[in-house]
Amino acid sequence: MINNFLGIFSKDIGIDLGTANTLVYVRGKGIVINEPSVVAVNQKTGQVVAIGNEAKKMVGRTPAYISATRPLVEGVISDFEVTEEMIRYFIQKVHKETFSLFPRPRVVVGIPSEVTEVERRAVEDAAKNAGAREVYLIEEPMAAAIGVRLPVQEAIGSMVVDIGGGTSDIAVISLGGIVVSKNLRIAGDKLNDDIIRFARDEYKLLLGERTAEDIKIAIGSACELEDPLEAVMRGRDLVTGLPKEVVVDDSEIRRAMQHSVKALIASIKSTIEATPPELVADIMHRGIVLVGGGSLLRGLDKLVQQETKMPARTADDSLTAVVRGTGIVLEDIDALKEVLVGSNYYERHEKTPAAE
């Protein structure tokens, strides 16, 4: 009863709880928060020092007793308390302008496909403990498909490849459900690791994670470019221990990432192989849609098209596809109830008449 009363003064929100970034959609307003999923914690006191953008600036620059970490690893919660604090921070930030002292919003959270029941429950509990009145879960590829306006509730096959920071989700969707899916631990972070390993092996240069990501964004590609690109890699020389910089081009970075990119393409192919023929025919006509930060890798859509012999495109504003999908579900949760994970929706709405 109290929760319902407090809910009147709360804003319903959709959350794309990503390994690299967390995005928040507010019902009736749109996307209001896009911050890194990073939390800085004081190890002496156990207190949270900073969250989001402020914490990201601290990565690799903190004293020994402050650790700036990501509470989500490969799309799932690795530190429950810190994740809870992070979700609470985002809920409070959304309600800062209102007069609600104890916001109790309804929350729709995107989760990777193929997560276990325990991992699913962890997300639900973290959101509830952070102040959510009701928590609904939706698989990220489904949310992304809704976000890019694919006809997910119709008897038409749609294929989405969501390449995030920690995981990549490949799914074929029809009639409001995921028909075939594959979740793999090859995504943006793995490509950063590939670049770090390449710098160490080829140039005896130790790179930081942020530097590797900057190089990937600046000159990373999945296939040969018409105009070659160059970037400067700066790090510590492993031989002398002194600072060192090296100029690298796109072909070297492409070589560094080729193993991971090939594994991703192989997973897309194996998902197509497991798809019923009628749906494959639909996908051949409609094409494969790439979303997520990793889909912005230059030429990836072209490579997917070459390897699968199917049309492929990167969605417009692909970084926000999942959170926009959670927002569309929020706006009309009754019409889209079948796309939610598990029986959360039905449990709540079947109990209501009995309670009355």
As a whole number of Å, the end-to-end CA separation of the chain is 12
The answer to whether the CB of 231 falls within 8 A of the CB of 245 is no
Q: Kindly give the interhelix angle for 250-273 and 188-203, rounded to the nearest 10 degrees.
A: 140
Annotated binding residue 294: yes
User: Does the annotation list 214 as a binding residue?
Assistant: yes
The reply, when asked if residue 166 is annotated as ligand binding, is yes
Residues 6+ apart with CB under 8 A from 289: 144, 145, 148, 150, 158, 159, 160, 161, 312, 313, 314, 315
Distance from C-alpha of 346 to C-alpha of 256, rounded to nearest angstrom: 48
Q: If residue 34 lies in a helix (H) or strand (E), which one and from where to where?
A: strand 30-36
Q: What is the DSSP letter of 126?
A: H
The answer to whether 19 is a known ligand-binding residue is: yes
165 is in an annotated binding site: yes
Tell whether 337 is in a known binding site: no
21 is in an annotated binding site: yes
Judge whether 216 is annotated as a binding position. Answer: yes
Please indicate if the annotation marks 75 as binding a ligand.
no
Annotated ligand binding at 356? The verdict is: no
Q: How far apart are CA 324 and CA 319, in angstroms?
A: 10
57 is known to lie in a ligand binding site: no
167 marked among binding-site residues: yes
Q: Which element (helix H / strand E) includes 77?
A: strand 76-77
Q: Which residues are annotated binding-site positions for ATP?
A: 19-21, 165-167, 213-216, 293-296
Q: Which residues are annotated binding-site positions?
A: 19-21, 165-167, 213-216, 293-296
